[in-house]
């Protein structure tokens, strides 16, 4: 277990999440505490490792809302060895002394690459980053009530400005707080990555060339100007993809505003139909590139909080009709209290959450939940504001729910299954560990959201559908189609994880599917010859679904994220390659 509050054994820290803003963290070398209690910045090159450790610890407690003078005093008196003991002492001091002052604003060190990340995170253009931040600063008055409120609550001005820029000036204070707080997860995740998986700098020219040009085997011409923009990740105004607010795509079941017509490029028209998903909050230029390869189809960005009680911000590119969609019934619970009614008894009035943040592949630790219990139970009534802020930040980060007096706990795997729309025990049993269950669920579709988009196929294919499911995971698309009542005639499921393949196979047998399930391990082995053999057997595919890995797309430190050229996320080009082969073969066989 790790001091950060994370159970770290055997976890894949490349979560999907959709981690909304970059964490403008100050490196330990950025903070120097002077006798008058103010914080100044400096390079810190000559500081000792002990000083660096002390600075990090003081940063941690200052970020929780304790005055910097109080933090320094407690650390000097009790040392740095026992963080829990320090927290208890700080809480005691806060009761005996006056209310804590607002946290000291710490300016980012210009020498630290981690302190200067733009809201879209592409640091290949440092000038663009600085100009973006200046424009944001100009657009939000220093006297703005929301900005001042966020700063007084202990959030950094940089974080608050980014949140206001991304969500808009009309966003509520609660939305801004949720938006900012989840970003802190990523800092902890990146630190805990094993060395071989840590983000690295490197020359990816060869891989870029290989990935961007390998589709030439299909005989396509290279649009040189456009590809240059893709490779350099240039952000011209015409190509920019802006995330909508609210993030409801072309409409949701409970929203009165619907878009019923859109223009589909001729080259993209189905059948076969295709449906591609990935994290909405990807680095700059990623969704422009995905759209260009997928026949210039406009992305549909949707947050699953409009379908269930948990957020999941995703982008979908598809050529499906958007008229006459319908949701799965009964509609799932859309608030925490509706989804988990037993928590109502213990939910404190100062916890305003009604929705959970994006469900992760990892959970908060027992040590973290015990630390929260100790922090809260020291007070007979409501804890002071700085304690509330600390607890709420941790609850938002790790989706903790109240299960007893002063007791919080992470969601259980079967509760996550419910939120994501899977049948109970979908990932349970068969030798699957609890850790693997969280990992598989965290990387899955939200079934209700996907089913709403796929619902238009029910009238089109009353006798059943032939499905090619790439990066199948635990079968979110298959479950969605089954719950819609669309028979699965043939499913070719391609999934690298043996654990996930076993989950899909078990679900297929338990639901008494009448069709044929063909599972494969590697999308890169699915070439033209193998596709032709499969399609000659059952006559072609009606739908090609996939959500390629987001490992190189999600995360806080975009300067070391490789985007679509990364080892895992570059598999998107295999989705495109296979889809284009299927389309060409079906046109040829008509």
Instruction: Please tell me the distance from the alpha carbon of residue 521 to that of residue 87, in angstroms, as a whole number.
Output: 49
Q: H or E element: which one contains 491?
A: strand 488-494
Instruction: Please tell me the distance from the alpha carbon of residue 280 to that of residue 49, in angstroms, as a whole number.
Output: 39
Instruction: Please tell me the distance from the alpha carbon of residue 258 to that of residue 324, in angstroms, as a whole number.
Output: 10
Query: How many H-runs (helices) and E-runs (strands) does the chain carry?
Result: 22, 11
Instruction: Please tell me the distance from the alpha carbon of residue 7 to that of residue 366, in angstroms, as a whole number.
Output: 8
Query: Is the preceding omega at residue 399 within 30 degrees of 0, hence cis?
Result: no
C-alpha atoms less than 13 angstroms from C-alpha of 165 in its C-beta half-sphere? 21
How many residues are present in the chain?
590
User: How far lies 440's CA from each of 272, 435, 462, 561, in Å?
Assistant: 28, 9, 31, 22
3-state secondary structure of 470: strand
DSSP readout, 321-381?
--TT----SSPPP-SHHHH-GGGTTT--TT----SB----SS-B-HHHHHHHHHHHHT-SS
Instruction: Please tell me the distance from the alpha carbon of residue 575 to that of residue 469, in angstroms, as a whole number.
Output: 10
Instruction: Please tell me the distance from the alpha carbon of residue 339 to that of residue 351, in angstroms, as a whole number.
Output: 17
CA-wise closest residue to 247 among 18, 457, 443:
18
Instruction: Please tell me the distance from the alpha carbon of residue 151 to that of residue 102, in angstroms, as a whole number.
Output: 8
Q: Are 504 and 477 in contact (CB under 8 A)?
A: no
Q: H or E element: which one contains 438?
A: helix 434-442
Catalytic residue (choose from 30, 115, 362, 550):
550
Q: Are 97 and 73 in contact (CB under 8 A)?
A: no
Cβ atoms within 10 Å of 146's Cβ, excluding its own: 17
User: How far lies 315's CA from each of 242, 297, 416, in Å?
Assistant: 11, 12, 21
Is residue 395 flagged as an active site residue? no
3-state secondary structure of 29: helix
Active site residues: 550
């Amino acid at each position: 277990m790790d001091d950060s509050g994370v159970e770290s054994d055997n976890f894949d820290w490349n979560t999907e999440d959709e981690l909304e803003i970059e964490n403008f963290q100050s490196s330990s070398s950025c903070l120097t505490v002077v006798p008058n209690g103010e914080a100044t910045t400096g390079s810190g090159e000559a500081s000792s490792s002990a000083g660096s450790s002390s600075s990090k610890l003081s940063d941690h407690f200052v970020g929780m809302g304790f005055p910097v003078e109080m933090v320094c005093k407690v650390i000097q008196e009790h040392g740095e060895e026992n963080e829990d003991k320090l927290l208890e002492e700080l809480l005691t001091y806060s009761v005996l002394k006056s209310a804590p002052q607002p946290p000291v604003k710490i300016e980012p060190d210009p020498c630290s690459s981690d302190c200067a990340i733009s809201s879209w995170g592409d640091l290949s253009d440092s000038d663009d980053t600085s100009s973006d931040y200046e424009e944001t600063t100009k657009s939000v008055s220093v006297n703005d009530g929301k900005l001042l409120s966020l700063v007084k609550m202990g959030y950094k001005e940089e974080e608050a400005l980014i949140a206001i820029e991304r969500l808009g000036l009309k966003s509520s204070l609660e939305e801004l707080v949720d938006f900012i707080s989840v970003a802190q997860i990523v800092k902890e995740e990146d630190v805990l990555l094993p060395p071989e998986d840590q983000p690295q700098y490197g020359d990816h020219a060869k891989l870029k060339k290989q990935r961007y040009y390998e589709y030439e085997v299909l005989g396509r011409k290279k649009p040189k100007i456009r590809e240059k923009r893709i490779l350099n990740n240039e952000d011209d105004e015409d190509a920019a993809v802006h995330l909508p607010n609210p993030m409801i795509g072309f409409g949701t079941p409970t929203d009165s505003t619907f878009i019923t017509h859109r223009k589909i490029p001729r080259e993209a028209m189905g059948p076969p139909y295709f449906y591609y998903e990935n994290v909405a909050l990807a680095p700059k230029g990623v969704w422009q590139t995905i759209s260009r390869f997928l026949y210039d189809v406009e992305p549909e960005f949707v947050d699953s909080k409009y379908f269930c009680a948990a957020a999941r911000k995703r982008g979908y590119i598809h050529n499906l009709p958007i008229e006459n969609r319908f949701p799965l019934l009964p509609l799932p619970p859309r608030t925490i209290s509706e989804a988990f009614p037993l928590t109502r008894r213990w939910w404190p009035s100062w916890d305003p959450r009604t929705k959970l943040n994006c469900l992760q592949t990892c959970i908060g630790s027992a040590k973290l939940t015990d630390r929260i219990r100790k922090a809260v139970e020291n007070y007979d009534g409501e804890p002071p504001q700085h304690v509330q802020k600390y607890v709420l930040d941790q609850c938002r980060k790790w989706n903790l729910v109240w299960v007893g007096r002063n007791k919080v706990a992470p969601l259980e795997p079967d509760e996550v299954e419910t939120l994501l729309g899977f049948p109970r025990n979908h990932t349970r049993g068969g030798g699957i560990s609890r850790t693997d269950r969280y990992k598989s669920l965290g990387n899955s579709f939200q079934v209700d959201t996907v089913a709403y988009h796929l619902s238009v196929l029910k009238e089109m294919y009353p006798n059943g559908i032939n499905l090619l499911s790439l990066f199948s995971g635990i079968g979110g698309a298959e479950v969605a189609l089954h719950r819609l009542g669309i028979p699965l005639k043939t499913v070719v499921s391609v999934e690298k994880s043996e654990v996930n393949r076993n989950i899909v196979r078990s679900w297929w047998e338990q639901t008494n599917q009448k069709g044929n399930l063909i599972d494969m391990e590697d999308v890169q082995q699915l070439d033209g010859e193998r596709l032709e053999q499969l399609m000659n057997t059952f006559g072609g595919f009606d739908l090609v679904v996939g959500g390629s890995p987001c490992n190189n797309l999600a995360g806080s430190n975009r300067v070391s994220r490789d985007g679509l050229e990364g080892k895992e996320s570059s598999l998107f080009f295999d989705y495109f390659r296979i889809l284009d082969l299927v389309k060409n073969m079906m046109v040829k066989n008509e």
